[in-house]
């Protein structure tokens, strides 16, 4: 199992690396098929955010779904403890789901709040030069839009077709409020997302739509 540590706006001391490696070694007990753990350590320099200046993001990659957890604190070691606790809970959830599938032969169905069409965009998004697009899966590329302070971060992910139930499951494992995927039944790009309470929503894009024809002159 490889552990890859990256620091953003900060240096990683050898003492912390040793502590990190010792703590993350426990991941193999919960997820024996883990091949790699990506660790991102970032430092927020804004004094107003001193109570969460240290941020840790942990991403477990293997033959199953990606599992991710993050946390922030005023202390780097505390942030790691919080992030690891969340990661361990999600890994246990993934392990229990696999056990249930083996025992019952079926996956539990998630509750879907409603299915809504994709809303029309009010304004086009800023264009990012094609040359800045990531070329490898998992790669993150940041680009500044023109002379503005706006920074766009792009990532390339694998898009294996899956069911809505599986998409909801993987969304919970990475701890995000939404999850983009390809529906295995319709081959449409879809997004599942959290709604109020314990309900979810699905937005589908009609990928078969054709551009409007230009009017004849």
pLDDT in tens, 148-165: 777 787 877 777 888 888
Distance, in Å, from the CA atom of 187 to the CA atom of 104, rounded to the nearest integer, reads 28
Task: Name the CA dihedral angle for 103, 170, 33, 157, rounded to a multiple of 10 degrees.
Answer: 150
Q: Give every CB contact of residue 104 below 8 A, 6+ residues apart in sequence.
A: none
Look at residue 217 and tell me if it is in a domain. no
Distance, in Å, from the CA atom of 185 to the CA atom of 183, rounded to the nearest integer, reads 5
Domain boundary among 104, 122, 146: 104
Distance, in Å, from the CA atom of 195 to the CA atom of 116, rounded to the nearest integer, reads 12
Give the model's pLDDT for residue 143.
74
Identify whether residues 27 and 88 lie together within a single domain.
yes
Distance, in Å, from the CA atom of 93 to the CA atom of 169, rounded to the nearest integer, reads 10
Is 113 a residue whose pLDDT tops 90? no
Identify whether residues 16 and 87 lie together within a single domain.
yes
- Distances, alpha carbon 17 to alpha carbons 24, 41, 168, in Å: 10, 11, 33
Look at residue 210 and tell me if it is in a domain. no
Is 7 a residue whose pLDDT tops 80? yes
Look at residue 212 and tell me if it is in a domain. no
Is 33 a residue whose pLDDT tops 80? yes
Domain boundary among 104, 130, 162: 104
Look at residue 215 and tell me if it is in a domain. no
Is 6 a residue whose pLDDT tops 90? yes
Give the CATH number, domain containing residue 85.
Answer: 3.30.160.100
Give the model's pLDDT for residue 75.
93
The total of structural domains in the chain comes to 2
Identify whether residues 58 and 142 lie together within a single domain.
no
Distance, in Å, from the CA atom of 26 to the CA atom of 53, rounded to the nearest integer, reads 26
Look at residue 209 and tell me if it is in a domain. no
Per-residue pLDDT band for 46 (boundaries 50, 70, 90) equals confident
Domain encompassing residue 132: 114-204
Give the CATH number, domain containing residue 163.
Answer: 3.30.505.50
Q: What is the DSSP string of the chain?
A: -EEEEEEESS---HHHHHHHHHHHTTHHHH-TTEEEEEEEEEE---GGGGGG-EEEEEEEEESS--EEEEEEESSHHHHHHHHHHHHHHHHHHHHHHHHHHHHHSSPPPPP--EEEEPPPPSSPPPP--GGGS--STT-EEEEE-TTSS-EEEEE------B-HHHHHHHHHHHT-SEEEEEBTTT--EEEEEE-STT-EEEEE--TT--PPPPPP-
Identify whether residues 86 and 140 lie together within a single domain.
no
Task: Name the CA dihedral angle for 109, 112, 118, 122, rounded to a multiple of 10 degrees.
Answer: -140
Q: What pLDDT digit, counting tens, does each position of 67-83 carry? A: 999 999 999 999 999 99
Identify whether residues 129 and 53 lie together within a single domain.
no
Q: Which residues pair with 194 in a beta bridge?
A: 200
62 and 89 in contact (C-beta within 8 Å)? no
Look at residue 155 and tell me if it is in a domain. yes
Of the listed ranges 24-33, 89-98, 112-121, the least confidently predicted one is 112-121
Look at residue 73 and tell me if it is in a domain. yes
Identify whether residues 125 and 75 lie together within a single domain.
no
Identify whether residues 11 and 95 lie together within a single domain.
yes
Distance, in Å, from the CA atom of 165 to the CA atom of 147, rounded to the nearest integer, reads 42
């Amino acid at each position: 199992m490889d552990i890859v540590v990256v620091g953003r706006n900060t240096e990683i001391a050898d003492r912390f690396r040793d502590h990190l490696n010792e703590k993350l070694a426990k991941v193999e007990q919960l997820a024996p098929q883990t091949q790699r753990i990506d660790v991102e350590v970032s430092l927020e320099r804004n004094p107003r955010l001193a109570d969460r200046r240290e941020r840790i993001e942990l991403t477990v990659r293997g033959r199953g779904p990606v599992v991710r957890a993050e946390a922030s604190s005023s202390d780097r070691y505390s942030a790691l403890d919080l992030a690891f606790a969340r990661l361990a809970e999600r890994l246990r959830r993934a392990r229990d789901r696999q056990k249930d599938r083996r025992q019952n032969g079926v996956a539990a169905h998630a509750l879907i709040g409603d299915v809504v069409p994709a809303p029309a965009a009010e304004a086009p998004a800023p264009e990012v030069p094609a040359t800045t697009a990531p070329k490898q899966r998992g790669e993150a590329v940041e680009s500044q839009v023109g002379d503005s302070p706006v920074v766009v971060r792009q990532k390339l992910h694998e898009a294996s077709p899956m069911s809505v139930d599986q998409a909801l499951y993987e969304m919970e494992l990475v701890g995000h409020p939404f999850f983009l995927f390809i529906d295995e039944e319709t081959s449409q790009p879809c997004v599942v997302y959290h709604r109020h309470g314990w309900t979810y929503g699905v937005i589908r894009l009609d990928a078969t739509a054709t551009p409007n024809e230009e009017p004849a002159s």
